[in-house]
Amino acid sequence: MKVLAILYNGFNAAVKEPRLLGTVENKLGIDKWLASRGHEFIVSLVSFRWYLEFSFDAEVVITTPFHPGYLTRELMEKAKNLKICITAGVGSDHIDLNAAVDHKIQVLEVTGSNVVSVAEHVVMNILTLVRNFVPAHEMIERGDWQVSDIARNAFDLEGKVVGTIGAGRIGYRVLQRLVPFDCKEHLYYDYAKLPVEREQAIKARRVEDIEEFVSQCDVVTVNAPLHEGTRGLINEKLLSKFKPGAWLVNTARGAICDTDAVAAALKSGQLRGYAGDVWNVQPAPKDHPWRTMKNPLGGGNGMTPHYSGTTLDAQARYAAGTKSILENYFEGREQEPANVIVGHGAWATKAYGQR
Ligand code: NAI
Report whether 198 belongs to an annotated binding site: no
> What is the mean pLDDT of the segment spanning 265-288?
97
What pLDDT, on a 0 to 100 scale, did the predictor assign at position 49?
A: 61
106/340 Cα distance (integer angstroms): 8
Residue 48 pLDDT exceeds 70: no
Out of 94, 121, 253, 288, the active site residue is 253
Provide the percentage of residues in the chain whose pLDDT is more than 70. Answer: 97
> What is the mean pLDDT of the segment spanning 164-170?
98
User: pLDDT digits over 101-145, tens only?
Assistant: 999 999 999 999 999 999 999 999 999 999 999 999 999 999 999
What pLDDT, on a 0 to 100 scale, did the predictor assign at position 269?
A: 98
211/199 Cα distance (integer angstroms): 21
What pLDDT, on a 0 to 100 scale, did the predictor assign at position 178?
A: 98
The secondary structure of 47-98 as a DSSP string is SHHHHHHHTS--SEEEE-SSSPPPB-HHHHHH-TT--EEEESSS--TTB-HH
Per the model's pLDDT, the better-predicted residue between 78 and 298 turns out to be: 298
268/265 Cα distance (integer angstroms): 5
Residue intervals of the chain classified under CATH 3.40.50.720 are 2-111+311-342, 114-303
Q: Is the peptide bond before 283 cis (omega within 30 degrees of 0)?
A: yes
Report whether 63 belongs to an annotated binding site: no
> What is the mean pLDDT of the segment spanning 312-320?
98
What pLDDT, on a 0 to 100 scale, did the predictor assign at position 46?
A: 74
Count Cα atoms within 13 angstroms, Cβ side, for 41.
21
User: pLDDT digits over 178-188, tens only?
Assistant: 999 999 999 99
Residue 51 pLDDT exceeds 70: no
Catalytic residue status for 132: no
Catalytic residue status for 306: yes
Report whether 251 belongs to an annotated binding site: yes
- Contact indicator for 204, 217 with CB cutoff of 8 Å: no
Name the CATH superfamily housing domain 114-303. Answer: NAD(P)-binding Rossmann-like Domain (3.40.50.720)
Q: Identify the residues whose C-beta falls under 6 Å from ligand 1.
A: 89-91, 114-115, 118, 165-171, 189-192, 223-226, 229-230, 251-253, 277-278, 306, 308-309, 351, 353
Residue 148 identity (one-letter amino acid): S
What pLDDT, on a 0 to 100 scale, did the predictor assign at position 179?
A: 98
- CA of 351, closest atom in ligand 1: 10
Residue 273 pLDDT exceeds 60: yes
- Contact indicator for 99, 73 with CB cutoff of 8 Å: yes
Ligand 1 centroid to Cα of residue 351, in Å, is 7
What pLDDT, on a 0 to 100 scale, did the predictor assign at position 57?
A: 87
What pLDDT, on a 0 to 100 scale, did the predictor assign at position 52?
A: 62
Residue to mutate, 115, 123, 170, ligand 1, most ligand atoms under 8 Å from C-beta: 170
- Read off φ and ψ for residue 83, nearest 5 degrees: -120, -30
Catalytic residue status for 253: yes
Q: 118-154 as b/e, with b when 16 or more CB fall inside 10 Å?
A: bbebbbbbbbbbbbbbbbbeebeeeeeeeeebbeebe
User: pLDDT digits over 205-264, tens only?
Assistant: 999 999 999 999 999 999 999 999 999 999 999 999 999 999 999 999 999 999 999 999
User: pLDDT digits over 292-313, tens only?
Assistant: 999 999 999 999 999 999 999 9
Mean predicted lDDT score pLDDT of the chain: 96
Beta-strand relationship, 340-342 and 106-109: antiparallel
What pLDDT, on a 0 to 100 scale, did the predictor assign at position 296?
A: 98
Report the CATH fold assignment for 2-111+311-342. Rossmann fold (3.40.50)
Residue 50 pLDDT exceeds 70: no
| pTM of structure | 0.97
